[in-house]
Amino acid sequence: MSGNRLPVAMLVEALASILAAAARLKTSSFEQLVPTSQVDGATGISKAEASQIERAIDGWARRLPGKPACFIQGLAATAMLRRRGYLATLHYGSRRGDAGLEAHVWVSSGGEPVIGHRNADQFAELSLFPSSG
């Protein structure tokens, strides 16, 4: 791998994860979509690998028609983390915006931000999946 280029396999996985998350969103209940437990033996991800996952998903999200929403991106990141044996926590928050109530999803792994975190501080966290309690 040269420079800042991402591995082709990771780019393919990110695209497949986004498309799978979008399809699942249309056919599954919320409870079926979000993780209810961590992968056995899961550990937190490194900052470098978290950045790679974010770049891979974000790169596709900017190029795909209809720009997949944060929830789809979060589900895709969660799937990629879990496949690698990393902790994956999906955060769900909301805020009052000009157009009314707005929701946002972001993902972390062992406290390391992965995706959706750049504006997460503007939202009140309502839930974590899997729940920590």
On the question of pLDDT at 47 being above 50, the answer is yes
CA end-to-end span of the chain: 41
Long-range contacts at 25-33 (CB < 8 A, ≥ 24 apart) = 25/71, 25/72, 25/75, 33/75
The reported pLDDT for the residue numbered 4 is: 83
pTM for the model stands at: 0.91
Q: Exposure string (b/e) for 114-124, b if CB count within 10 Å is 16 or more? A: bbbbeebeebe
The reported pLDDT for the residue numbered 1 is: 44
Pairwise CA distance, residues 32 & 36, whole Å: 9
Token reading at 92: 């769900």
The reported pLDDT for the residue numbered 31 is: 87
3-state secondary structure of 28: coil
Determine phi and psi for 40, rounding to 5 degrees. -55, 130
Confidence of residue 51 (pLDDT cuts 50, 70, 90): very high
